[in-house]
Amino acid sequence: MMNKKSHGQSRVTIEEFFKGNKENLQLTLVAGHGGMKKRIRVPEVYRPGLNLAGYLRSYSPRRILIFGRVEIEYLRELEPKMRLNRLKGILSKQVPALIVARRLRPPKELVELCTLRDIALFRSSQPTMALQSQITVILAEEFSPVVSYHGTLVEAFGVGVLIQGDSSVGKSETALGLIERGHRLISDDVVKVKKKEGSYLEGSGPDLTRHLLEIRGIGIINVAHLYGAVCISENKRIDMIVKLEEWDDDHFYDRVGLEEKYLDILGLKVPFHVLPLKPGRDVVLLLETIVLNYRLKLMGYNSAKEFNVKLLDAIAKQQVHHPRTRKALT
């Protein structure tokens, strides 16, 4: 059911990082063209102010470096020989890249050393802190754990539902029924699940099958073309998982709903429901009901718990009015 794709490890190179964020971060390559193939291995950016002063204990050269006004002005105050020695102390070949903020002009020793050691050197017109914050967010996104699931992801009543089940059980047909009722398709067959900000899961689909739905007996249909752009979305937070399975007369299915089940995905618990199928059951209506009931629970209303309280209260009253029954029960 699940194919693990990656787990918090980035394969992005400096060249890919540059091309993907050139406009957003306002980057210009100054030197170190030979370092564009280096891979970013640590999702961190670092301002080496203290290290430029000669303190190198616990310094890690695997992070992207950012030089702001303080670093550049400090370097300019040093003698050329001292400036070169300080830069040599932090610019090993392990450094993936260096970015000079505020469109400041890097010292010639910095340019020469980056060229010699194949460290990509960029300039940006953005303020230092804004640049550091943006890159931190970009790298956190890039290094987020990702897994791939077999299933269909839809949005119903604003809730992201991952529909799972064995092959040919009716996942795509269920999604089609939901789309017909005005809900949205996110992805069919393969769903890429990414852990976002360490607190929730977001699902999306591969570019190749985006907006497509496979219906046995019909073939591939383009949901955006048939039903309009309002019935599709690129990604959606995954709020619950519903597994479709053939009805089994020997299996006990919960009739009250007091027991809440969860699945663990990337360390996060996701509400899980099993929806048994047999002729005569309107699976689309049932799935909509599961979603609406989920929304009620978020607002603090639990139908199953309320029924259980009423049931226990009725039993207690019956025992009070029929002491013989109470004595027999005890």
Q: Which residues are catalytic?
A: 150, 171, 189, 255
Q: Tell me the residue length of the chain.
A: 330
304-317 exposure pattern, b = at least 16 Cβ within 10 A, e = fewer: beeeeeeeeeeeee
Query: What does the DSSP assignment read for 183-212?
Result: -EEEESSEEEEEEETTTEEEEE--STTTTE
Q: Which structure tokens are listed for 83?
A: 């400036």
Cα–Cα nearest to 113, from 91, 136, 81: 91
**CA 128 to centroid of chain Cα atoms:** 27
Distance, in Å, from the CA atom of 294 to the CA atom of 208, rounded to the nearest integer, reads 32
Strand ranges of the sheet holding 45-46, from the earlier edge strand across to the other edge: 27-31, 120-124, 97-100, 64-67, 45-46
Q: Which two tokens stand for residue 62?
A: 């695997």
Q: Locate tokens 């025992």: which residue?
A: 319
